[in-house]
C-alpha cells in the first residue's frame, strides 16, 4: 500500500482507507519541520499497519505549553475534515522534543477536564527518545540562554517545571516509551536520571501509575527513526553506523506497532465475570 500525504490545515495527512486508528505525529526540532520526508519510512510503516497519519510539522517557539495546546485544535480540525467518528481511536506519537509537547498535553489533561476544556484523555501516547528541552537546548548560543531566562522569556515550561507537571499528574496510564542504547541526547535507561530524560521518564512512570509503563530499549542512536529509503535499505543519518541500514534488521517499527496495539488493548474494558449462585 503506497502512502500519499495531502495538506489539511497545517499538517500533512495520509488517510488510510480502512483505519484502525489515527496517529498524530510530532518529530524533533530540526528533522520534524519536514516530517513526511525525514520520517517517511517510519510513518509509512505505521500507515501500512492500518493507521491514518497526521504528520504535524515541528513548530519552533519558546512557549512550549501554548504550542502543545495548539495540537489539540489541529487534531479536531483534521478529524472533522476527515469525518471521523469519536469512536475511532486517536494516538499520539512523538520523537525527541516532539515528546515534550505530548507529555505536556497529558500533564495538562487533569486540569483541562475539570475546567471543561480539550484534553487527550483516553488517547494513548508513544514517546520515542523523549527530550525535555530547556532554554539552553532550544537556544544553543553561549550566554544567551541564561539571559533569556533572567528576563523571563526563556522556554516555558522549563525542564524542571515540566518534570513537576508530569510528577504531579495521576495520568500517563496509556503511555509507552522506546529508547536507544547509543542515544547521547535523550539518554538511555541505565544512566542517572539527572543525565538522561529516558531514565527520568522510566523512574517516574514505571510503577507510580495504575498501569506500568510499556517500554523497550533497542539498538541505535537518537536519530534512529529518521531515514530515507533507498531500495531495501535506509540512508542512515549517523555515518558512524554506516551509510545504509538494512530494513530487515530494523527493530523500531515492529516494536512501535506492537506497543500501539497493546495501548489500544488498555482502552478496551475488561469483560465482567458474572457469578452464578445456586
Grid cell 506497543 is found at 259
Which residues is 176 bridged to in the sheet?
126, 214
pLDDT of residue 210: 82
Assigned C-alpha cell, 241: 553506523
Residue whose C-alpha is closest to residue 222's, from 255, 178, 266, 270:
178
Name the grid cell of 96: 525527541
pTM: 0.91
> Which DSSP string corresponds to 209-269?
SSSPPEEEEES--TTTT-EEEETTEEEES-GGG-SEEEGGG--HHHHHHHHHHHHHHHHSP
Give the pLDDT confidence score for residue 203 in this predicted structure.
Answer: 95
Question: Which H/E stretch holds residue 51?
Answer: strand 51-56
Helix (H, G, I), strand (E, B) or coil at 198: helix
CA angle 187, 191, 195 (to 5 degrees): 65
Domain boundaries, the chain: 6-267
Q: Is 1 exposed, middle or buried (0-12, 13-18, 19+ CB in 10 A)?
A: exposed
Q: What is the pLDDT of residue 268?
A: 76
- pLDDT per residue as tens, the chain (278 positions): 789 999 999 999 999 999 999 999 999 988 999 999 999 999 999 999 999 999 999 998 889 999 999 999 999 999 999 999 999 999 999 999 999 999 999 999 988 888 888 899 999 999 999 999 887 766 667 777 778 777 777 888 999 999 999 999 988 999 999 999 999 999 999 999 999 999 999 999 998 888 889 999 999 999 999 987 777 778 776 655 656 777 888 999 999 999 999 999 998 765 545 454 43
- Long-range interactions of 189-193: CB distance < 8 A, separation 24+: 189/215, 189/217
pLDDT digits (tens, 9 = 90+) for 53-77: 999 999 988 899 999 999 999 999 9
What pLDDT is recorded for position 137? 67
Superfamily (CATH) of domain 6-267: Alpha/Beta hydrolase fold, catalytic domain (3.40.50.1820)
Sign of the four-CA dihedral 146, 152, 153, 159 = positive
Amino acid at each position: 500500500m503506497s502512502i500519499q500525504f495531502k495538506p489539511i490545515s497545517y499538517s500533512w495527512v495520509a488517510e488510510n482507507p480502512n483505519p484502525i486508528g489515527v496517529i498524530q505525529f510530532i518529530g524533533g526540532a530540526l528533522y520534524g519541520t519536514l516530517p513526511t520526508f525525514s520520517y517517511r519510512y517510519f510513518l509509512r510503516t505505521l500507515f501500512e499497519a492500518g493507521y491514518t497519519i497526521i504528520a504535524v510539522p515541528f513548530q519552533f517557539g519558546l512557549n512550549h505549553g501554548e504550542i502543545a495546546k495548539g495540537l489539540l485544535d489541529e487534531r479536531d480540525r483534521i478529524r472533522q475534515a476527515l469525518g471521523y467518528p469519536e469512536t475511532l481511536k486517536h494516538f499520539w506519537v512523538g520523537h525527541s522534543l516532539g515528546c515534550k509537547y505530548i507529555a505536556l498535553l497529558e500533564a495538562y489533561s487533569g486540569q483541562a477536564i475539570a475546567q471543561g476544556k480539550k484534553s487527550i484523555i483516553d488517547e494513548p501516547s508513544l514517546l520515542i527518545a523523549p527530550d525535555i528541552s530547556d532554554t539552553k537546548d532550544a537556544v544553543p548560543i553561549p550566554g544567551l540562554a541564561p539571559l533569556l531566562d533572567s528576563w523571563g522569556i526563556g522556554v516555558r515550561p522549563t525542564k524542571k517545571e515540566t518534570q513537576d507537571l508530569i510528577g504531579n499528574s495521576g495520568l500517563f496510564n496509556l503511555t509507552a516509551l522506546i529508547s536507544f542504547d547509543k542515544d547521547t541526547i535523550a539518554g538511555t535507561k541505565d544512566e542517572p536520571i539527572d543525565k538522561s530524560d529516558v531514565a527520568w521518564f522510566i523512574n517516574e512512570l514505571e510503577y507510580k501509575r495504575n498501569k506500568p509503563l510499556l517500554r523497550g530499549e533497542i539498538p541505535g542512536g537518537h536519530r534512529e527513526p529518521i531515514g530515507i529509503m533507498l531500495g531495501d535499505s535506509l540512508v542512515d543519518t549517523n555515518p558512524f553506523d554506516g551509510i545504509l541500514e538494512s530494513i530487515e534488521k530494523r527493530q523500531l517499527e515492529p516494536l512501535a506497532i506492537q506497543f500501539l496495539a497493546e495501548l489500544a488493548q488498555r482502552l478496551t474494558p475488561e469483560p465482567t465475570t458474572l457469578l452464578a449462585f445456586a
